[in-house]
Every structure is written in structure tokens, then in C-alpha cells.
Amino acid sequence: MQKTLILLKPDAVQRRLVGEITRRFEQKGLRLAGLKLVQAPRELAEKHYAVHKGKPFYESLLTFLTSGPTVAMVWEGREAVAACRNLMGVTDGVKAGPGTVRGDLALSVQNNLVHGSDSPENAATEIALWFKPEDLV
């Protein structure tokens, strides 16, 4: 079954939205395969967002992702990558549709509460960055 990496970014933890957001993934019917609270070191943030290196928002994004604890989760299910991206909504909280995590709960482009892998290949790479194989159930 397909797996995807979901991060509840530091703004989600700071705003006490961990339960609210996790509930949405649970209720969709996905299976939780891994869960941990991580204070991401800069090196991990750099690897996670390597694709954005050189973009104007890159440094600010790293500062944001390392600004407090992140909840890292692995969810599994049919088309888990697409299912989770649909639940999250598009990047900009203003443009994200109602009913999505970002559409309902975020107003920012950067501080948009959640990360989700954008392909099964990237999911495998990202899961390996955040979890040891023995941490997954």
C-alpha cells in the first residue's frame, strides 16, 4: 500500500492544531504507520527542502521549519500521496479551498501548517530522512 510523509510544521504545533489536523487524516481512512515529535536540526531541514535551494524564500523556510517541534507522520493507504495532498489544499492558505487543512486554518503561504510528499518516489526519500525503518509499524 502507498505511503506518504506528512509533517505538521512548527506553526501547527505552536497553534495547538495537531489534534485537529491529525483527525482529518484519520477520518479519511488512512492508516498511521509512524509518528514522532522532532526538533529538526538545520541539516535535516536542508535535506528535506533541498529542491527549493536557491529560491528567495529558502532561508526563511529553513528558519521556519527549525523554529520549534514538528510532528512527523507516515500515513498509508490507497493513493495516499494524492489523498493527503487533497486533504491539505494548495500551498497558499488564501487560495486553498474550504474543507482543506490550509483552506480552513491557514492564511499564509509559508506558514501553511502541513507538508505532504508530492510523489511516491519523493515520499520514499522523505520517509527515509525522518524515520528509521524500525520506527514504522
- Residues near ligand ATP (CB under 6 A): 52, 57, 61, 91, 109-110, 112, 115-116, 118
Residue among 2 and 112 whose Cβ is closer to ligand ATP: 112
Catalytic residue flag (residue 48): no
Smallest gap from Cβ 128 to ligand ATP, in A, equals 16
Residue among 61 and 134 whose Cβ is closer to ligand ATP: 61
Q: Calculate the CA 32 to chain-centre distance.
A: 14
**Is 57 labelled a binding residue?**
yes
CA 137/CA 135 separation, integer angstroms: 7
CA 101/CA 2 separation, integer angstroms: 21
Sign of torsion over alpha carbons 99, 29, 69, 110: negative
Annotated binding site: 9, 57, 85, 91, 102, 112
